[in-house]
Structure 1
């Protein structure tokens, strides 16, 4: 039976390892004082540790973002920076701008990687990079990331079953740890019985606890029944993340700056019922709730409270 609990009786604090911003603040582009305010707001809602996720940015924008975030990282206010891109599959890029996507083996992709690895040597700011394993040069990219202490995560991918299986095996062999799957199901090739794609490889790896699967349980990104299935079958592999952005509201709080909602280069529109979207109104651009709201909704829906909290650590 689930443990009865709620935000009023739970004292657990949360770790959000995939969050782009909150309540009007974009970690990639907002001024440093606004980012500080956003981190303070998140702390009042029990998200005590934040990894700042950056969407795919061109190099000048990435450099600017890292300069701001490095001050927060040095002060211990953010745990590090997660790079969601630029090595993503164009057909599964979601809200990431096509003009900034790269392939690992291209000249521009190599220049991008040189900057990232140089920053990592100097500051150690990067914790993780999401990549599509089917891109040319991905295998070498994975090796370079691991050598520099950056966790390779798999996502935004149109990989087939074999490509995903081999990438999971490669990363697991290099790190000895479960391989992170970025927001499983979302911006990922779907399952078909004659062409199972990456999802079969993920589920197989979950059976041996060789993956950790991010789930955005905001009621928009993944059906509640599917979230329940993961908790019933492989709870130890689940990591709940908000994937929140500047367009993600916080109940009872106005947006911190009176400004356009941004996700890096993209302009977003807030939608209470359907979640943040690109300005076209169609493409889901980020999570619709922070971790506290996700926690409360899952507990209210009968999920085991201890498992929910464990998945937010």
Structure 2
């Protein structure tokens, strides 16, 4: 077996937790991932580039995880995917790669039809170049009373003509779209999306329980249809709890509908578990109620991610970031997140969620949502060589994406000549 790089450490993925493991790569593809004891049967010359005694260094507290997968992020490093700058979008994507998010959807906030077309065209090029896995439209078909950090003057009702125009601009790169289920015409939008294998995501909604249930059932049935070859089979819920009515014992609303659907395995709920959007106790409760296999950890990251407090923009809105919390200047609404997905994993573990569950919700589950599970989201032979190296405290120590180091590690990597 040919191999050009091997890593040793504790392997933690959604499918395994190996205290002393090896991950080997060749040409951007994983050739082996498993116990270090299995190296003997691989035909590798472990003496080349290894320790002075001819053996590979021991794990020494490092953890090897799959590259993280974020299905909801708006930008980073001063750039917003909604600003229409190809250079800025590329810079944001590359920064997120360097912080461990090796696969991502670029999310767009609500904008004018002209700007949405422009932005989708830019993101289509990024997807063609492999920098992003596709785009996510968060709007404009959202409830005005739950607009959050979306410009309420740009929201509109479901419009088949506009959606067809957006399809044309995005091509096959559009992967997901957030909708308010209660809007007149929303059901027709669900059918248009699922016919193309695009994920309907329930969010920014004031729907009652029955309407939310019907939306998720229709979306799941549509994605299960014979014409969908994308591998995307489950609808999602855009940042559960945020931008929707709180759960009430006499008015359960979209929160209860979403939790029930996720518990049954018929939907995946997004959680922004960054310590700002949700209380740690809430995060832990959702993991206990629906299981890690039905949760996608997300960042909802905006332009301030990776930068200091200050003044920024999200779409058309002015945003102030203070102590890492982004808020719309005019309303005080939380305006996305400033954490990376690795930060979210760390916060999730701090909330009491087992590490393997947190990793699964940041890798395998969102990869399966996107229909990319055969390629990313785990560490198995034949999968893409995306790996994140962290220390015991889950702080970043190295990132490999598609077999290339985007954040070079230290002595923890052992190259084989």
**Partner SS for 1:261:** strand
Larger radius of gyration: 2
**Partner SS for 2:125:** helix
In the alignment, does 2:241 pair up with 1:185? yes
**Partner SS for 2:71:** strand
**Partner SS for 2:201:** strand
In the alignment, does 2:334 pair up with 1:284? yes
**Partner SS for 2:66:** coil
Shift of residue 228, structure 1, vs aligned partner:
0.5
Shift of residue 118, structure 1, vs aligned partner:
2.4
**Partner Cα separation in structure 2 for residue 60 and residue 27 of structure 1:** 15
The equivalent residue for 1:236 is: 293
Structure-2 change in CA distance of 1:52 and 1:278 (3 Å): same
Structure-2 change in CA distance of 1:245 and 1:8 (3 Å): farther
Count of aligned pairs between the two proteins = 298
User: Any gaps of 5 or more consecutive residues in structure 2?
Assistant: 1-11, 20-58, 225-232, 364-417
The equivalent residue for 2:218 is: 170
Shift of residue 173, structure 1, vs aligned partner:
1.4
**Partner Cα separation in structure 1 for residue 129 and residue 311 of structure 2:** 28
Structure-2 change in CA distance of 1:141 and 1:262 (3 Å): same
**Partner Cα separation in structure 2 for residue 11 and residue 90 of structure 1:** 40
Structure 1 segments of 4+ aligned residues over 4 angstroms from their partners: 2-5
Shift of residue 300, structure 1, vs aligned partner:
4.0
Structure-2 change in CA distance of 1:37 and 1:117 (3 Å): closer
In terms of fraction of residues, the more strand-rich structure is 2
**Partner SS for 1:124:** helix
Structure-2 change in CA distance of 1:237 and 1:116 (3 Å): same
Shift of residue 301, structure 1, vs aligned partner:
4.4
Shift of residue 206, structure 1, vs aligned partner:
2.2
The equivalent residue for 2:400 is: none
The equivalent residue for 1:270 is: 321
**Partner SS for 1:220:** coil
Q: Given that residues 299 and 339 in structure 2 are in contact (C-alpha distance below 8 angstroms), is that contact kept between their aligned partners in structure 1?
A: yes
The equivalent residue for 2:267 is: 211
In the alignment, does 2:128 pair up with 1:68? no
**Partner Cα separation in structure 2 for residue 204 and residue 74 of structure 1:** 36
Deviates more, 1:132-141 or 1:170-179: 170-179
Structure-2 change in CA distance of 1:8 and 1:27 (3 Å): farther
Q: Given that residues 220 and 288 in structure 1 are in contact (C-alpha distance below 8 angstroms), is that contact kept between their aligned partners in structure 2?
A: no
TM-score, length-scaled by structure 1: 0.89
The equivalent residue for 1:311 is: 361
Considering only aligned residues, what root-mean-square deviation do their CA atoms show, in Å?
2.3
The equivalent residue for 2:178 is: 130
In the alignment, does 2:277 pair up with 1:227? no
**Cα deviations across residues 45-82 of structure 1 (Å, max 9, x unaligned)?**
11101110000111111122123222211111111110
**Partner Cα separation in structure 1 for residue 152 and residue 196 of structure 2:** 27
Shift of residue 8, structure 1, vs aligned partner:
5.3
**Cα deviations across residues 251-288 of structure 1 (Å, max 9, x unaligned)?**
xx569xxx962211112111225x11112361101013
**Partner Cα separation in structure 1 for residue 214 and residue 79 of structure 2:** 38
Shift of residue 303, structure 1, vs aligned partner:
2.5
* Equivalent in 82, 86, 95 of residue 149 of structure 2: 95
The equivalent residue for 1:245 is: 302
Structure-2 change in CA distance of 1:139 and 1:30 (3 Å): closer
**Partner SS for 2:175:** strand
The equivalent residue for 1:49 is: 103
**Partner Cα separation in structure 2 for residue 298 and residue 190 of structure 1:** 21
**Cα deviations across residues 202-232 of structure 1 (Å, max 9, x unaligned)?**
2222221111000000111111101001222
In terms of fraction of residues, the more helix-rich structure is 1
**Partner SS for 2:131:** coil
**Partner Cα separation in structure 2 for residue 38 and residue 155 of structure 1:** 25
